[in-house]
Amino acid sequence: MARYYFDLVDQGGLVVDEEGLAFSDMEGVEQEATRAMADAAKESLQRPFKPGEAALEVRDDSGLVLRFGSQ
């Protein structure tokens, strides 16, 4: 199983996931990324984001795998 890290990029900068989670397939990674973006959207109600100011970068030990959102 590979370890994936879910980093949040927003107007405040980069929040790096230093622990990561292990997944056996990309379907699990995509599900976790979707959940993480939903959580970030909920948190944005506390501190509003302008459209396009938040993204989730998913990486493994070799680098960027997926990017959700825009920036």
* Residue pLDDT, tens place only, 7-32: 988 777 888 999 999 999 999 999 99
Identify the H or E element spanning 35: helix 26-44
Is the torsion defined by CA of 45, 39, 26, 9 positive or negative?
A: positive
Greater model confidence, 46 or 18: 18
How many other CB atoms sit within 10 Å of the CB of residue 40? 19
Question: How many domains does the structure of the chain reveal?
Answer: 1
Residue 24 structural domain = 2-69
Report, as an integer, the average pLDDT of 24-50: 82
